[in-house]
Amino acid sequence: MWLTVARSLYAPTVSIINDGNRLGNGSTFYSIIDDLKKKVDYYGYEWAQPQKIGLIGYHTGSMEESGGWFTSLNVEYRDAKGNWRSVEELNVLPELLPN
């Protein structure tokens, strides 16, 4: 895959999304694949105690001409029984880029 952004910006593992660092070397996770097929990624957070979340901030990091952004986004949480449930009335601002 052709990269227009320095490879030093990319982190080797997705755990980088947890550190809050949005700039500089190793600050971006990009699930690079060897062809141009669409890829589905899943990322998540868990806490030891229940949390009340009002806002999740997502920063795209480096974007490439053939990827690096979401075209769909599903946000889910676990209910009291441990089942995954979609967030109702989810607002995504700004809107995602079209496919």
Residue ranges of domains in the chain: 1-99
Percent of the chain whose predicted confidence (pLDDT) is above 70: 67
**Total Cβ atoms within 10 A of residue 78:** 12
Residues 6 or more apart from 55 whose CB is under 8 A from it? none
Token pair for residue 29? 């996770």
Evaluate if residue 76 carries a pLDDT over 80.
yes
Residues 6-40: tens digit of each pLDDT: 777 777 777 777 777 777 787 777 766 656 666 67
Computed on alpha carbons and rounded to an integer, the radius of gyration of the chain in Å comes to 15
Token pair for residue 7? 């490879």
pLDDT score for 85: 92
> Which residues partner with 98 through β-bridges?
none
Q: Are 88 and 74 in contact (CB under 8 A)?
A: no
Average pLDDT, stretch 37-62? 76
